[in-house]
């Protein structure tokens, strides 16, 4: 009986060790993946620039294995092209990609606002109102970091709205789209007149949601994204 318990203990210990090793490997891959994707989307790497496993591993303090796996995952997302026996190269988001994403996103944001009229909580409404107030504060606040703060508030508004849709799938898709066009989104916010108009549109969307007017909320959210496209001259 003692031997059996001891054997069981050893088996459990070894199983736990394997589990932790796999978990650590996955977590490292995830960390590398998120880091590289963020850098690619922020324009840190140029189109067609080579991503060297050894260099990235040294920079992030990891082995080549999680880097290689992260690059494969990035290839599945269309952000990296892996050429056998040659290397991995950045596939930058093109102007057409951004345009396509905004067009699709305009429809999904409308759906999100529509569903939010049914599922949004009082706490989420308070959060959105606070974000709008902070956005107005940063709009009139001059100095370094203003654009970053405005961009952060814009992202937070949409994040809360996605959560308010009560759809895990819709939230996931829109969050990814939001990340993919974050560089273009920041460029849009840099225009003072657009930043002010964007805040006004956020308030109108929120008021429609609070009034439980699903059709109006959907239309306003849809138009809000289309206005961003116009500001970025993506329809040209």
Closest CA relative to residue 47, chosen from 85, 86, 84, 79: 79
Report the side by side order of strands in the sheet with 50-51: 50-51, 87-90, 80-83
Same structural domain for residues 201 and 102? yes
Q: Domains in the chain: how many in total? A: 2
Q: What is the pLDDT of residue 153?
A: 92
Domain that holds residue 147: 95-231
Measure CA 166 to chain center. 18
pLDDT one-digit tens code per residue, 67-125: 999 999 999 888 899 999 999 999 987 788 888 888 999 999 999 999 999 999 999 99
Q: Residue 110: which CATH number?
A: 1.20.120.530
Domain boundary among 41, 73, 90: 90
Contact 185, 234 (CB under 8 A): no
Around 121, how many Cα atoms within 13 Å sit in the side-chain half-sphere?
8
CB 86 within 8 A of CB 127: no
What pLDDT score was predicted for residue 128?
A: 98
Q: What's the alpha-carbon Rg for the chain, to the nearest Å? A: 22
pLDDT tens digits, 190-219: 566 778 899 999 999 999 999 999 999 999
Instruction: Average the pLDDT over each of 126-130, 149-153, 171-175, 216-220 and give the range with the smallest value.
Output: 149-153
Confidence (pTM): 0.72
């Amino acid at each position: 009986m003692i031997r059996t318990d001891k054997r069981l203990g050893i088996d459990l210990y070894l199983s736990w060790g394997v589990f932790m090793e796999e978990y650590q490997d996955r977590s490292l891959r995830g960390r590398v993946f998120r880091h590289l994707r963020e850098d690619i989307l922020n324009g840190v790497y140029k189109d067609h620039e080579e991503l060297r496993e050894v260099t990235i591993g040294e920079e992030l303090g990891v082995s080549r294995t999680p880097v290689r796996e992260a690059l494969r995952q990035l290839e599945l997302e269309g952000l990296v092209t892996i050429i056998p026996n040659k290397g991995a190269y950045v596939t930058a988001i093109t102007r057409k990609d951004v345009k396509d994403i905004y067009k699709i996103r305009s429809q999904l944001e409308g759906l999100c606002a529509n569903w939010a009229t049914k599922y949004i909580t009082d706490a989420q409404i308070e959060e959105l109102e606070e974000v709008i107030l902070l956005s107005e504060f940063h709009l009139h606040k001059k100095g370094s970091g203003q654009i970053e703060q405005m961009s952060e508030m814009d992202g937070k508004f949409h994040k809360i709205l996605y959560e308010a849709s009560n759809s895990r799938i819709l939230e996931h898709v829109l969050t990814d789209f939001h990340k993919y066009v974050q560089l273009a989104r920041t460029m849009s916010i840099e225009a003072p007149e657009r930043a002010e108009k964007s805040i006004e549109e956020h308030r109108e969307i929120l008021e429609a949601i609070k009034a439980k007017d699903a059709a109006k909320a959907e239309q306003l959210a849809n138009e809000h994204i289309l206005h961003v496209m116009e500001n970025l001259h993506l329809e040209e």
